[in-house]
Structure 1
Amino acid sequence: MSTTPRQMRLTARHVAYLQPAETVEALPPPPDGMREATLADHAATIETLFDGPDHHDETWVFAYGSLIWKPACDYVEMRTGLLHGWHRAFCLGWNTRFRGSEDNPGLMLALDRGGACKGALYRLPPDRRDECLIKLFEREMGWMPTAFPPRWVRVRAGERIVRALTFCIDRNSGRYVSGLSDDQIADVLARATGTRGSMAEYLHATVDHLEQMGIHDPHLWRLQHLVAERIEAAYEADR
């Protein structure tokens, strides 16, 4: 028997209130204390990650946030996967450029320790591994030092255990944000907008694509409801 799909409260209508007139994909100048990453940085990261006896005939990337709905590079296979020991959280702050500003900084998703996380696994084309990884790192690690460096994790995909690269928060980076309530996080996500769009758009796209994949994240589901409430109160109260 078919079931009725869940209807998100946060919709494109809500997102439209916060969208800038135009978005800019180019990397803005780095914040104080950081620098723009170079090709040499990314090449060194690849060398470090693939230094060892495991030749990595297959290279998988585990996506838990925007990489689900906007992959940074080509891939030849996609699966859903379950990662134990880490959970997705709005713990990467404070974003004052991409999806936030100095007045209303944003909070981005990263993997934090504890719990579990369902997401997407992408297998990179083996003959273009380094090219794809550089595109991925340019997207996720445009500035150095990074607050969520890539690391190897083991992800269950059906009957298989897949070794995959993903991005986990460095709690000592100075950009780690914890201890916020759902209401406090929703306050941030309902206001922040930057050069690449709004946090409301980021949340909407992530929840929508997870649901399409058959993945229900109760925490993000509650957040999308709270963010929609706040946007309605701010933009539709007099209607």
Structure 2
Amino acid sequence: MLSDAERKASLHASLSEVGWTPCQDVWVYGYGSLIWRPEFDFSEQRQALLRGYHRALCLWSRINRGTPEEPGLVFGLDVGGSCRGMAFRIPGSMVPDAFDALWQREMPSGAYIPRWLRCHTSEGDIRALVFTMNRKTDAYVPRMPDEQLMQVVHRARGINGPCIEYVLETASALQRSKMLDKRLQNVVNLLQSYTGQIAPNQA
């Protein structure tokens, strides 16, 4: 876990990297729960394509969507491919509060690496803050067999609710916005098949 000082240092380093000033708006890129539960005020949102990373269930969740004894999985941006998500424009006056909340939410353990990356939108390219996966953390999960993935997602539950709820909420948010993610849709299809198979045994 990062200390408060380490988390604040990371936040300030990210803003310093782009030479942020209090009057400057910034963009934040969401690819998971930020799409459907941003928890910060924004003045604009756009669908955005990020190249070089893809959405994957590659991060153990031992609190929010699981426990230390039975961890769940949450999305991270792993290297390779591309990802369609949502970019949010935060007014300059709101950046300090929004970023403080973001760092508490996304950076409690240092599992992500915040980067400023180019994202493509229908209204032109933007540079947005993106939380990418830190492969060096022990919370990083390389690709696992489908059967194991289904078991983890179906069974795990944390303080924010079931892991499966998180996965399906993200899939629904993408579907509502007409953003295609073949990998995630495959996971959803597998979950439907898996839960259908185990339902009789739970009766």
Aligned 8 A contact 2:119 2:126 in 1:
yes
**Secondary structure of the structure 1 residue equivalent to 2:112:** coil
AA in 2 matched with 1:51: S
Percent identity over the alignment is 33
* Count of residue pairs brought into register by the alignment: 201
Distance in 2, matches of 1:127 and 1:71, equals 17
Letter in 1 for 2:168: H
Q: Is the 8 A contact 2:58 2:143 kept in 1?
A: no
Residues 111-160 of structure 1, C-alpha deviations (whole Å, 9 max, x = no match): 0111000000001122111111101111112x24x111211111001141
| Secondary structure, aligned partner of 2:41 | coil
**Bigger-Rg structure (1/2):** 1
The counterpart of 2:45, out of the listed 64, 78, 84, is: 78
Contact 1:150 1:168 in 2 (8 A): yes
Q: Which amino acid aligns with 1:225?
A: N
Decide whether the 8 Å contact of 1:149 with 1:169 is kept in 2: yes
Q: Please tell me whether the aligned partners of residues 92 and 107 of structure 1 are also in contact (alpha carbons under 8 angstroms).
A: yes
CA-atom RMSD in angstroms: 1.9
Q: Are the aligned partners of 1:148 and 1:169 in contact in 2 as well (CA < 8 Å)?
A: yes
**TM-score, normalization: structure 2?**
0.90
**1:10-89 pair list within 5 angstroms:** 34-35=1-2, 37-38=3-4, 40-52=5-17, 54-55=19-20, 57-89=24-56
Q: Distance in 2 between matches of 1:131 and 1:125?
A: 11
Aligned to 1:180: 144
1:104 deviation in Å? Answer: 2.7
User: Which has the larger share of helix?
Assistant: 2
Q: 1:223 to 1:53 in 2, by over 3 A?
A: closer
Distance change (3 Å), C-alpha of 1:48 and 1:227: same
Q: Which amino acid aligns with 1:176?
A: Y
Aligned partner of 2:100 in structure 1 is: 134
Gaps of at least 5 residues in structure 1 are 1-33
- 1:110 aligned onto 2:84: no
